[in-house]
């Protein structure tokens, strides 16, 4: 195969591959796309510190044995729905230090074995209802340094989930509202009274309800 299709350094690629440990380290290689030819039996994939701004929907679909996926410190703004659905063995997922502004509904639903999830330092004002409900083995979830919008009613799912899991899942109680430094844990229904319309939903606020004068 051509050199630019090679994955591992020994074949002329940029990534460090440890075949004994089934690990592929492509960290800090200025990659703008995920390398092709990642072996299907890879268990550990490190893509941190690159320039990934988007992921193809099928990016990880053949990597069913992955237990560790690090996408930290890239430029991801969105995630395609279902992008992690085949990663049924995944234990650790790092998405911290990206620019995620929203999460798709059900994005983590198939990650039932995950123990560590890091969403720290993104641009998330909210999460979809039920987004963490399938993560029954979660030990650690980092939600810090996101601009949580605590004026919107849809933050109450996150508040209730944090209250329920506090003590079982570490780091979650540190999540703070973007305004006022209040912990998400402590917001009241009165705080979160607004019906906010999030982007990426089909309902939109009409810009004008007046009919033009004839």
In a domain, 14, yes or no: yes
3-class DSSP string for the chain: CCHHHCCEHHHCCCEEEECCCCEEECCCCCCCCCCCCCCCCCCEEECCCCCCCCCCCCCCCCCCCCCEEECCCCCCCCCCCCCCCCCCCCCEEECCCCCCCCCCCCCCCCCCCCCEEECCCCCCCCCCCCCCCCCCCCCEEECCCCCECCCEHHHHHHHHHHHHHECCEECHHHCEECCCCCEHHHCCCCCCCECCCCCCCCCCCCCCCCCCCC
Token digits of residue 89 = 């063995």
Q: What is the pLDDT of residue 205?
A: 43
In a domain, 210, yes or no: no
In a domain, 3, yes or no: yes
Other Cβ atoms less than 10 A from the Cβ of 50: the count is 21
Q: What does the alpha-carbon distance between residue 117 and residue 139 come to, in Å, rounded to a whole number?
A: 9
pLDDT in tens, 28-85: 999 999 998 999 999 999 999 999 999 999 999 999 999 999 999 999 999 999 999 9
In a domain, 203, yes or no: no
Q: What does the alpha-carbon distance between residue 101 and residue 126 come to, in Å, rounded to a whole number?
A: 9
Token digits of residue 206 = 């009409």
In a domain, 115, yes or no: yes
In a domain, 213, yes or no: no
Most confident region among 1-15, 144-158, 187-201 by mean pLDDT: 144-158
In a domain, 207, yes or no: no
Token digits of residue 129 = 């209802």
Instruction: Please report which confidence band the pLDDT of residue 19 belongs to, taking 50, 70 and 90 as the band edges.
Output: confident
> Cα-Cα-Cα-Cα dihedral of 2, 31, 92, 176, to 10°?
-170
Q: What is the pLDDT of residue 213?
A: 54
Q: What is the pLDDT of residue 170?
A: 93
Q: Determine what percent of the chain is predicted with pLDDT higher than 90.
A: 79
Burial of 59 (0-12, 13-18, 19+ CB in 10 A): buried
Q: Determine the structural domain holding residue 41 and report its residue range.
A: 1-197
Using DSSP's 3-state secondary structure scheme, residue 176 falls into strand
In a domain, 166, yes or no: yes
User: For residue 150, what are the CA distances in angstroms to 29, 44, 118, 127?
Assistant: 38, 36, 20, 12
The count of structural domains within the chain is: 1
Q: What CATH number has the domain bearing residue 40? A: 3.80.10.10
């Amino acid at each position: 195969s051509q050199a630019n299709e090679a994955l591992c350094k020994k074949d002329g690629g940029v990534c460090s591959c440890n075949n004994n440990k089934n690990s592929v380290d492509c960290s800090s290689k200025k990659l703008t796309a995920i390398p092709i030819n990642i072996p299907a039996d890879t268990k550990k994939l490190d893509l941190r510190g690159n320039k990934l701004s988007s992921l193809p929907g099928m990016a990880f679909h053949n990597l069913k044995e992955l237990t560790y996926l690090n996408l930290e410190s890239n430029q991801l703004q969105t995630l395609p729905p279902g992008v992690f659905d085949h990663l049924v063995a995944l234990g650790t997922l790092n998405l911290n230090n990206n620019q995620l502004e929203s999460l798709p509904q059900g994005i983590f639903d198939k990650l039932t074995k995950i123990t560590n999830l890091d969403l720290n330092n993104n641009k998330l004002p909210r999460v979809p209802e039920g987004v963490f409900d399938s993560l029954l083995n979660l030990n650690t979830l980092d939600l810090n340094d996101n601009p949580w919008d605590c004026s919107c009613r849809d933050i109450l799912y996150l508040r209730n989930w944090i209250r329920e899991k506090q003590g079982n899942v570490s780091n979650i109680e540190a999540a703070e509202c973007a305004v006022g430094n209040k912990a998400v844990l402590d917001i009241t229904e009165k705080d979160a009274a607004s019906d906010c319309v999030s982007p990426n939903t089909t309902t939109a606020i009409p810009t004008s309800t007046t009919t033009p004068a004839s």
